[in-house]
Amino acid sequence: MRKRQMNGFLKAGLILTGVLLAMIALGFFLDTL
Amino acid sequence: MRGSEKFLAPSLRHLMGTDNFGRDIFSRVLKGAGSTLRIALGTVAIGAVLGTAIGALTGYFGGAVDEAFMRLNDAITAFPSMLLALVFISILGSGSLNVILALGIVFIPSFARVTRTAFASLRDANYVKSARLMGAGSGRILFVHMLPNTLQVLLPAVTIGFNNAVLAEASMSYLGIGSMSSLGYMLSDAQGVITSAPWYAMGTGLVIVLLIFGVGLIGEGLNRGEWEEGV
C-alpha cells in the first residue's frame, strides 16, 4: 500500500495558511455583523 | 475609526496600530488580505485552467500547432508581465474583475509551458501507448490518464503562480489600478508615513510576506516528500 505522509514543509505551510485564512474569514464575518 | 486616534502605535486595543484617519490597521489588513486573496485565486484559476488545457493539447499532439503556440508563448513572455497587464487594464478598464482577467491572461503562458513539458515527456510512456491501443480517445488519455501523473509538476507550479499573483496584485493596487481595499493600496498609503508610523507599512507587509511564505511552504512540501515515497 502506498504510504502517505505529510512532510514538515507541507504541515507548516498548511498551518500558516490555515491561520491566515481563518483570520481573513473572521474579518469577513465581523464585516457582515 | 476615531479622529483622535490617529497614528497610534500597536497595542492590545489596536494590534497593528491605527492609520492617518484613526482606523484600526489590523481590521483593514484582514479586509485587504481578503480582496488580495480573491483576486490572486481568480488569476491563478484562469491561468492554470487555460494554461493547462493549452499546454496539454500542444504537448500531447506536437506538430505545427505546438510550434505556433510556443512561439506565441515566447512572444508574450518577452514582454514584462506587469506592462502587459497594464496594457490589458487600459483596454478593459479598471476594476477588480478586469484586474483578475488581465493578470489571468498574463499568467497563461507560464502554466502552458510547464504543462507542455510534462505532457510531452509522458507522450510515449507505456501506459499512454496501452491506453491508445485499448482504443481510448485523446480527451480521455489526456485528462484521465496523463493529467493525474502530471500533478506532481502542476501543483507546485500552481502554488508558485499563486505567490506571483499575490505580488502582481499588490503591485497593481500599489500603482492605484487594482482594488482600493487591497494590501498594495495600503502599502502605497503607508509609504508616506513610513518614518512617523512604521507599523502601518510593517503590518501590511507582514501579512503579504506570511501569505506568500505559507503557500510557498505548501509548494515546497508538495515538491518533495509525499511524491517520492512508495511510487
Per-residue pLDDT reduced to its tens digit, B73-131? 888 888 888 888 888 888 988 888 899 999 999 999 999 999 999 999 998 889 999 99
The pLDDT of residue B4 is above 80? no
- Which segments of chain B does DSSP mark as H helices, in order? 25-61, 63-78, 81-92, 96-122, 126-133, 138-140, 147-174, 183-191, 198-223
Q: Which residues pair with B18 in a beta bridge?
A: B24
Q: Given the cut 0.95, state whether the ipTM is greater than it.
A: no
Rounded to a whole number of angstroms, the distance from the CA of A8 to the nearest CA of chain B is 7
Sorting pLDDT into bands at 50, 70 and 90, what band is B2? low
With CA atoms as reference, report the closest residue to A15 among B178, B105, B213.
Answer: B213
Q: Within a 10 A sphere around the Cβ of B103, how many other Cβ atoms?
A: 29
Average pLDDT, chain B: 88
Rounded to a whole number of angstroms, the distance from the CA of A29 to the nearest CA of chain B is 10
| Facing residue for A16 by CB, picked from B33, B37, B210 | B210
Give CA–CA dist B206/A20, Å, rounded: 11
| Facing residue for A17 by CB, picked from B30, B214, B224 | B214
Give A24's contacts in chain B (Cβ within 8 Å): 30, 33-34, 37
pLDDT at position A3 is: 58
| Facing residue for B224 by CB, picked from A3, A7, A23 | A7
The answer to whether B186 and B95 have CB atoms below 8 angstroms apart is no
For the segment A1-33, what is each residue's pLDDT rounded down to a tens digit? 555 667 889 999 999 999 999 999 988 887 776
For the segment B168-206, what is each residue's pLDDT rounded down to a tens digit? 999 988 988 877 888 999 999 889 888 888 889 999 999
Structure pTM?
Answer: 0.87
Domains and CATH numbers, chain B: 3-225 (1.10.3720.10)
